[in-house]
Amino acid sequence: MTRSQLIAQIRQKRSFLCVGLDTDVALLPECVRHLSNPVVAFNKQIIDATHDLCVAYKPNTAFYESRGVAGWQDLVQTWQSIPENCLSIADAKRGDIGNTSTRYAQAFFEEKSSGMSFDAITVAPYMGSDSVKPFLAFKDKWTIVLALTSNEGSADFQHHGPENSPLFEQVIQKVQTWASPEQLMFVVGATRGEAFTAIRKIAPQHFLLVPGVGAQGGSLADVCRFGITSDCGLLVNASRSIIYASNGADFAERAREEALRMQQEMAVELNKINF
């Protein structure tokens, strides 16, 4: 999915919602646990219930890889279930160098070898350009670089550096010299709302993938107040608050209700900028 296609989907659906498919076997509703492939069945029902309300899906690959071959097969089938008009993001947070990064990219981008061809992947930039550029080498794919995260430990490194140039700002300044806003995004946690002002001065055009709204307590209003652009420029992710809105037989219906609530809030924010 190109940038223009993504923007078109946001305009059409009045939404910049990304649904995180962090599907934990231990949290599956009882009504799907007896099925031969409960994770895939659960994910498909979530997707069927929400695909008209969101523009992206983001499986966190750890929930699949931790279960070995069966989990990897579930990830492949989950990717196959994501509609073409929704951006598919492998939340893998890979970060190595040279040929290793190329192999990681192939694992998630090349359907011929792995069975999957995600539109995007999250990448850790700590090892520098030779850990990020192998992902950028894949045509028509997005690389989403971790910049400012919402976890407590982010303060250990990301905010260090000169007062007017903490590490996360240096990362954004450097990485955006490697690719254009057509194939590069940044992860910025919603619980750091005030930081969006500084980030938008550095990266005014890049899309930002924003976790932390919903169960983690981030404010959609704050994210939009400081981070939205004339092209929207945001993908706001919600995982647990949507997929675990209910642990009963109505889980898909309740997931839709929560996704609809967020979509309606997003439509209001888009109207504010005449998008």
Query: For 205-252, how does the pLDDT look when each residue is reduced to its tens digit (9 = 90+)?
Result: 999 999 977 655 678 988 999 999 999 999 999 999 999 999 999 999
**CATH 3.30.365.10 fits domain 3-272:** no
More confident residue, 110 or 193: 110
**CA angle at residue 234 from 217 to 177, to 5 degrees?**
120
* Distance between CA atoms of residues 7 and 269, nearest Å: 15
pLDDT of residue 122: 98
User: What's the whole-number average pLDDT of the chain?
Assistant: 94
Query: For 31-47, how does the pLDDT look when each residue is reduced to its tens digit (9 = 90+)?
Result: 999 999 999 999 999 99
* Distance between CA atoms of residues 233 and 255, nearest Å: 25
Q: Mean pLDDT, to the nearest integer, of 84-90? A: 98
* Distance between CA atoms of residues 254 and 244, nearest Å: 8
Q: Where are the domains of the chain?
A: 3-272
Residue 150's pLDDT band, with cuts at 50, 70 and 90, is: confident
Report the half-sphere exposure of 35 (CA within 13 A, side-chain side).
Answer: 15
- pTM here is 0.95
112 is catalytic: no
Catalytic residue among 93, 133, 139, 141: 93
pLDDT of residue 156: 77
Of the candidate ranges 76-80, 189-193, 202-206, 250-254, the one whose mean pLDDT is the lowest: 189-193
Decide if pLDDT at 256 tops 70. yes
pLDDT of residue 216: 59
Q: Mean pLDDT, to the nearest integer, of 147-172? A: 82
pLDDT of residue 160: 83
Give percent of the chain above pLDDT 90.
83
